[in-house]
Amino acid sequence: MTERPGSGQGNDPRSAELAERLAVVRKRIADAAGTAGRSDRPPSLIVVTKFHPAEDIRRLAALGITDVGENRDQEAAAKALELADLDLTWHFVGQLQTKKAKSVARYAAAVHSVDRPQLVDALAKAARNEMDSNGRSPLDCFIQVSLEEREHDGDGGTHRGGAVPADVPLLAERIAAADSLNLAGVMAVAPLGAPPEPAFEKLAGISAGLVAAHPAATGISAGMSQDLEAAIRFGATHLRIGSDILGSRPAVG
């Protein structure tokens, strides 16, 4: 009998590869949490599966992964539909256009890239419609903060998105005022070409300010394959790990 991909049994080389990679990452997380005195409060692992096939997510689910991150709505929506039989929590972690809010609200439990008032409003409306029609839970929203040293740049160059720190309180109030949204915390990507520690320390300070005004908004979504140890050291509650678990992205035709 042919086994289903991701069953975790048989001689599926890809499942074995993913299991090995996942074990290495889990050990890194456990070691970093121990070093930070957080063995009793390790961060949640979100496996970012962009550009990788749904079959890989099925394999990861068989290995105990429950949280999956995607960057592009079209790809995420298709995978969520295909894998609807699995008990997965979908996180949208990429830059999001307001016109995609309606689609994202259909499958995502959380959006980690909320960075402007217009997006808050679009997500609030979309999530409310889904709550009314399908009974979904409020949508978790992480405010993406830009940690780059340029407060007044545009969207060009290597800018990686996010609100400037001064705008976080306003966005937080807007999210908190929407009963279809849940203010989960903050998110950031460490700037390219610089040590991650100062950026994550800054994010921890921004998080502390947010929690002072909104005590339940304790989430810190930070840390990727190359900098997860630094993120854990400075309080990350959610890690977004892709390449160290899945390997290089497949060739896109």
Residue 8, phi-psi category: left (phi > 0), alpha (psi -120 to 50), beta (remainder): left
Q: Which of 126, 144, 241, 147 is nearest to 195 (CA)?
A: 147
Burial class (CB in 10 A: 0-12, 13-18, 19+), 169: middle
Query: Tens of pLDDT along 207-234?
Result: 999 999 999 999 999 999 999 999 999 9
Whether the predicted pLDDT of 158 surpasses 70: no
Query: Tens of pLDDT along 159-214?
Result: 568 999 999 999 999 999 999 999 999 999 999 999 999 999 999 999 999 999 99
Query: Tens of pLDDT along 39-67?
Result: 999 999 999 999 999 999 999 999 999 99
